[in-house]
Chains A and B, each alone.
Chain A
Amino acid sequence: MISDNYNEDLAITRAPHKDYPQAVPASFYIDPKKCLFLNYETCQICIPTCQAKAIDFSQKEERLDLSVGAVILAPGFGRISDKVLARYGYGHFPDVVTSLEFERIMCASGPSRGEIIRPSDGKHPQKIAFLQCIGSRDITSGNGYCSSVCCMYAVKEATVVKEHAPDVDISIFYMDMRTAGKGFDASRQRARDTHHLRFIRSRVAEVRERGDKLRLSYADSEGNHREDDFDMVVLSVGLESPEDAQSLARTAGIKLNQYDFCDTKAFLPLDASRPGVYVAGAFQGPKDIPESVMQAIGSAAAAAEILREARGTEVIRKEYPSEMGIAKEPRIGVFVCHCGINIGGVIDITEVAKYAQTLKDVVFVDDSLYSCSQDSQKVIKDAIKEHNLNRVVVAACTPRTHEPLFQETLRDIGLNRCLFEMVNIRDQCSWVHAHEPEEATSKAKDLVRMAVAKARLLYPLPEQTVPVIPKALVIGGGIAGMTAASSIAEQGFECFLVENSAQLGGNLRRLKTTLTGEDPGQLLNEVEARVRNHPRIRVYTNTQIENVSGYIGNFASTLSTETGSEVIEHGVVVVATGGREHRLNKYLYGQSKHVLTQLELEEILSAPEKAKKINEVVMIQCAGSRGDDLSYCSKLCCGQAVKNALRLKELNPAASIYVLYRDVRTYGFMEDYYREAREKGVVFIKYEKENPPVVMPNDDKITVEFMDVLLGEKVKLEPDLVALSVGIVPNEVEELAKLLKIPLNQENFFLEAHVKLRPVEMAVSGVYVCGLAHSPKPIDESIGQARAAAGKACVPLSKGFVAVEPIVSSVGKDKCIGCGICESLCPYKAIHLIKVDKKKKAETITASCKGCGICAAHCPTLAISMGGFTNEEIMAQIRAFGQC
């Protein structure tokens, strides 16, 4: 027995094992560090035990020489050293755990099967403390940077605990709550209010053991010394650079930064120092999943740019066997999934499987621990072959995530993928009826019976593809739009870049410096020259998008230019419409010449002789953001304030600068500049949302009054200038959103298809988003996201076709009376009337159809049916409900 690394060493496993049931590849492996034979030349029990004779100790390490055109480095992150963790009692007290260990403790497939227990005595903790910034924002630990993800995962872990056990008392000890990402602040507030999480702004000094509890000592926000006892302490550990960063850097020939992360520049966030080598994910700097995914797509695009001539030269295409003919009589196979204890912990799976066997036309039933694992796919394939199955029903989790996997399994064996039906016994049974196992089991049986009734009537549907016009439309000529256009063109495709104002550049025109010292003017000149001179890019300025019709692969857009209208045809659309500084009616903005925005201050600071005359500045953060005018955090203002403060200090070291803030959100390596600003004497003072600073006129000057919590008294200042961090609002896009039929969120930013895994795609296929139109973000993230949007946009362009889901509507021409109700109701312009033998008949435009079923539901003669959801199929399913 050896400790199980996958479970953070909280469980034991054997030397031959696989990390988790869904692991890919699915085969077992032998841990070479723990195997008795490999270390002591003894044992070898596994060889005769393995019935498949799959154990072969004669295998040797192989050396492969690969010839590649580009390299993408995505080695992830390393762990904070035990030495740093030991300061907080880790290693001494068993109930001090890291957040990663806690993640496994909470997980249904973890060592305690999802039961939240203390490692010391297996008891349920009643009071838990989360300690933030462990190994982050701490130069004594060697890591001056902020790890950018811990605030979010701590809130998540606290929420999950509360969902398991609502009575647990949770305190989160933090320095600044850095939930700066899109929608993150709202989620944090929701979690705090729903679950009554306690947020304590303090760095815990010491963790001691006191009886069976852990005593924390800390100073509260008024500076008073406090102590409190907890049952369990979770250390929110930061992201360290990978352990092998230095050897990887040597091998790849790239530079690292001072913290051993990959060194990149603000304007080339995905380019390592060696040409042809790109970086994605936490190795570029600590970051969360959506940012990592964006960089990954962006770095793929970067590689595709330099290798465009070689595209397709080395691919191996997947061949599917031709579809087998299916017998008339349905032969149904039912596969029921335990999903570990996620379903099996509530529902009696054996009983459901036994019941399925009694249903008409069911000839094979099996249950598996995880039906999504690779072995289970093989079981399904073998059963199809052996029992001549021609319909497959899987009772497991949601078809939203897992239907494509099972459909692929069907295709692999030569069965049409539409001969598949999925039953969601997780969300609809084991989750919602977790406390009523018998009822949940009985409902699962009902759902399986209904699915089988529907499956009997399923029939094969043809795979359809639509050709793609290999051109892109990019809307918006700021840095995001220009970067996307440039990448698409470099990947080998024609691109129309449309800007509604007179010049390219957007907000970049107003930037004078960056925090890391790059020159935005030079970037603007370079990128503008690149897009204007590129043979595959056509730039339109002073141009509006009048109309967009069509669908992925075949869009036609009407542009209204200075010289008239023009229709362009293209296969994809990238939306990069940008945003701008918010304008607010507060803090005397627009009334006093002493009150400016940060961008206006940046303008003044670009003229040193003016800047030298500024002796005192008060910066007000979140002026308008985070619940004032705008509900969200604008993410970039803290960095902008630090940048301007440092610039002013450089020009006039004697200047007094006060930054009034709610949380300083200089995440990642920006933290170094925040520290530098404090070291240079910039004063940061926290204020509460309920008690904001007040700016008052004072003859020709202004007075700022605010509460200093540490001093416990009100402070009045008479600065030369007040700089407001006003936040970012999106540009007006309601019309465009309607034209493209893509959703906006409450704040009018475009809503991506999936927050984590599809951060640049939209709900409508063929439309992608990047830059400030997606959410407020600093310039390096806009550039990275723009390259990602270009990467995704080039997928259909390089394939040359798109596959259409077979669930589209079809019209029975003999039943259709040509009334046109369907055409008037279709939200996607996907069904229209045509003349057939002088009579009007409806016809579906397959590539535009989203399969929503509105047309079928409203057809007075039931002439329209939906692929995979015909009236007969649905009626049979409903009828089966009453036939228990």
Chain B
Amino acid sequence: MGREHGAKSGAVLVVGGGVAGVQAALDLAEMGFHVYLVEKSASIGGAMARLDKTFPTNDCAL
């Protein structure tokens, strides 16, 4: 990656693409880090993408 030997990497690995993983990835990117977001299933969203609505406001989960 062209980094000097011993210098810290500016990249972060996020394991899991549910709401927590996606949120962490978005914030890290906003903070100036390169993110590898790894999800084992075919699309991100995790359990939250299967919810109809959310408590207590009954907002759409997607």
Residues of B within 8 A of A310 (CB): 7-10, 33
Q: When the two chains form their complex, are residues B57 and A755 in contact, meaning their CB atoms are under 8 A apart? A: yes
Q: When the two chains form their complex, are residues B36 and A73 in contact, meaning their CB atoms are under 8 A apart? A: no
Residues of B within 8 A of A311 (CB): 10, 31-33
Contact of A72 (CB < 8 Å), options: B1, B14, B30, B59: B14
Residues of A within 8 A of B57 (CB): 755-756
Complexed CA–CA distance, A29 and B43 (Å)? 9
| Min CB–CB distance B43 → chain A (angstroms) | 4
Q: When the two chains form their complex, are residues A22 and B10 in contact, meaning their CB atoms are under 8 A apart? A: no
Contact with B along A44-88 (1 / 0, CB 8 A): 000000000000000000000011111111111100000000000
Interface presence of A598 (CB below 8 A)? no
Q: When the two chains form their complex, are residues A74 and B20 in contact, meaning their CB atoms are under 8 A apart? A: yes
Contact with B along A290-302 (1 / 0, CB 8 A): 0011011101110
Chain B, residue nearest A26 (CB): B43
Most central of B29, B33, B62 by chain A CB within 10 Å: B33
Chain A, residue nearest B44 (CB): A24
* Contact residues of A between 7 and 66, Cβ < 8 Å to B: 8, 18-20, 22-25, 29, 66
With A289-B48, A297-B27, A312-B10 known to touch, is A156 a contact of B54 (CB < 8 Å)? yes
With A71-B15, A156-B56, A296-B21 known to touch, is A24 a contact of B45 (CB < 8 Å)? yes
Q: When the two chains form their complex, are residues B33 and A23 in contact, meaning their CB atoms are under 8 A apart? A: no
With A104-B50, A184-B56, A300-B24 known to touch, is A72 a contact of B12 (CB < 8 Å)? yes
Interface presence of A799 (CB below 8 A)? yes
* Contact residues of A between 763 and 809, Cβ < 8 Å to B: 791-792, 794-795, 798-799
Q: When the two chains form their complex, are residues B56 and A8 in contact, meaning their CB atoms are under 8 A apart? A: no
| Chain A residue total in the interface (Cβ 8 A) | 76
| Min CB–CB distance B50 → chain A (angstroms) | 6
Chain B, residue nearest A151 (CB): B55
Interface presence of A723 (CB below 8 A)? no
Interface presence of A837 (CB below 8 A)? no
| Min CB–CB distance B22 → chain A (angstroms) | 8
Residues of A within 8 A of B9 (CB): 67-69, 307, 310, 314
Interface presence of A160 (CB below 8 A)? yes
Residues of B within 8 A of A110 (CB): 52
Q: When the two chains form their complex, are residues A152 and B56 in contact, meaning their CB atoms are under 8 A apart? A: yes
Residues of A within 8 A of B18 (CB): 74, 76, 281, 292
Most central of A153, A755, A756 by chain B CB within 10 Å: A756
Interface presence of A309 (CB below 8 A)? yes
Residues of B within 8 A of A437 (CB): none
Interface presence of A563 (CB below 8 A)? no
Residues of A within 8 A of B55 (CB): 152-153, 155-156, 184, 187, 288
Residues of B within 8 A of A296 (CB): 19-24, 27
Most central of B36, B44, B50 by chain A CB within 10 Å: B50
* Contact residues of A between 308 and 328, Cβ < 8 Å to B: 309-316
With A155-B55, A156-B56, A293-B20 known to touch, is A307 a contact of B33 (CB < 8 Å)? yes
Q: When the two chains form their complex, are residues B43 and A67 in contact, meaning their CB atoms are under 8 A apart? A: no
Interface presence of A441 (CB below 8 A)? no
Interface presence of A248 (CB below 8 A)? yes
Residues of B within 8 A of A504 (CB): none
Q: When the two chains form their complex, are residues A300 and B31 in contact, meaning their CB atoms are under 8 A apart? A: yes
* Contact residues of A between 93 and 135, Cβ < 8 Å to B: 100, 103-104, 106-108, 110
Interface presence of A644 (CB below 8 A)? no
Interface presence of A692 (CB below 8 A)? no
Q: When the two chains form their complex, are residues A303 and B52 in contact, meaning their CB atoms are under 8 A apart? A: no
Residues of A within 8 A of B52 (CB): 103-104, 106-108, 110, 160
Residues of A within 8 A of B58 (CB): 156, 159-160
Q: When the two chains form their complex, are residues B16 and A314 in contact, meaning their CB atoms are under 8 A apart? A: no
Contact of A68 (CB < 8 Å), options: B23, B36, B46: B36
Q: When the two chains form their complex, are residues A292 and B31 in contact, meaning their CB atoms are under 8 A apart? A: no
Most central of B1, B46, B56 by chain A CB within 10 Å: B56
Interface presence of A6 (CB below 8 A)? yes
Contact of A69 (CB < 8 Å), options: B10, B14, B43: B10
Residues of B within 8 A of A74 (CB): 14-16, 18, 20-21, 24
| Min CB–CB distance A246 → chain B (angstroms) | 14
Chain B, residue nearest A66 (CB): B36
Residues of A within 8 A of B28 (CB): 72, 300, 303-304
Residues of B within 8 A of A655 (CB): none
Interface Cβ pair total, 8 Å cutoff: 203
Chain B, residue nearest A187 (CB): B56
| Min CB–CB distance B16 → chain A (angstroms) | 4
* Contact residues of A between 159 and 199, Cβ < 8 Å to B: 159-160, 183-184, 187-188
Chain B, residue nearest A77 (CB): B47
Complexed CA–CA distance, A248 and B13 (Å)? 14
Complexed CA–CA distance, A311 and B9 (Å)? 9
Complexed CA–CA distance, A188 and B13 (Å)? 38
Q: When the two chains form their complex, are residues A23 and B43 in contact, meaning their CB atoms are under 8 A apart? A: yes
Residues of A within 8 A of B32 (CB): 311-312, 315, 798-799
Chain A, residue nearest B57 (CB): A755
Interface presence of A280 (CB below 8 A)? yes
Contact of A67 (CB < 8 Å), options: B1, B42, B44, B53: B1
Chain A, residue nearest B17 (CB): A74
Residues of B within 8 A of A289 (CB): 19, 48, 54
Q: When the two chains form their complex, are residues A20 and B20 in contact, meaning their CB atoms are under 8 A apart? A: no
Contact of B10 (CB < 8 Å), options: A75, A283, A314: A314
Contact of A100 (CB < 8 Å), options: B14, B42, B50, B56: B50
Q: When the two chains form their complex, are residues B1 and A314 in contact, meaning their CB atoms are under 8 A apart? A: yes
Residues of A within 8 A of B19 (CB): 281, 289, 292-293, 296
Q: When the two chains form their complex, are residues A103 and B51 in contact, meaning their CB atoms are under 8 A apart? A: yes
| Min CB–CB distance A272 → chain B (angstroms) | 11
Complexed CA–CA distance, A23 and B46 (Å)? 11
| Min CB–CB distance A812 → chain B (angstroms) | 36
Q: When the two chains form their complex, are residues B51 and A313 in contact, meaning their CB atoms are under 8 A apart? A: no
Residues of B within 8 A of A24 (CB): 43-45
| Min CB–CB distance B29 → chain A (angstroms) | 8
| Min CB–CB distance B48 → chain A (angstroms) | 6
| Min CB–CB distance B17 → chain A (angstroms) | 8
Contact with B along A722-754 (1 / 0, CB 8 A): 000000000000000000000000000000000
Complexed CA–CA distance, A300 and B36 (Å)? 13
| Min CB–CB distance A239 → chain B (angstroms) | 9
* Contact residues of A between 843 and 861, Cβ < 8 Å to B: none
Chain B, residue nearest A25 (CB): B43
Residues of A within 8 A of B23 (CB): 280, 292-293, 296-297, 300
Residues of B within 8 A of A280 (CB): 20-21, 23-24
| Min CB–CB distance B12 → chain A (angstroms) | 5
Contact of A281 (CB < 8 Å), options: B20, B44, B59: B20
Residues of B within 8 A of A307 (CB): 8-10, 12, 33
Q: When the two chains form their complex, are residues A66 and B13 in contact, meaning their CB atoms are under 8 A apart? A: yes
Most central of B23, B43, B58 by chain A CB within 10 Å: B23
Name 15 A/B residue pairs within 8 A (Cβ), A-sorted. A22-B62, A66-B13, A71-B12, A71-B14, A72-B14, A74-B21, A76-B47, A156-B55, A293-B20, A297-B27, A304-B31, A311-B31, A312-B32, A314-B10, A315-B10
| Besides the known contacts A74-B14, A296-B23, A795-B30, 18 further A-B residue pairs in the complex with CB atoms under 8 A apart | A8-B50, A19-B49, A20-B49, A20-B62, A23-B49, A68-B9, A69-B9, A72-B21, A75-B16, A100-B50, A159-B58, A252-B15, A280-B21, A281-B18, A300-B28, A316-B34, A791-B27, A798-B32
Residues of A within 8 A of B (CB): 6, 8, 18-20, 22-25, 29, 66-77, 100, 103-104, 106-108, 110, 152-153, 155-156, 159-160, 183-184, 187-188, 248, 252, 280-283, 288-289, 292-293, 295-297, 299-301, 303-304, 306-307, 309-316, 491, 755-756, 791-792, 794-795, 798-799
In the complex, the 10 A-B pairs of residues with the closest C-beta atoms, listed nearest first: A281-B20, A187-B56, A310-B10, A296-B23, A74-B21, A69-B9, A313-B10, A74-B16, A23-B43, A314-B34
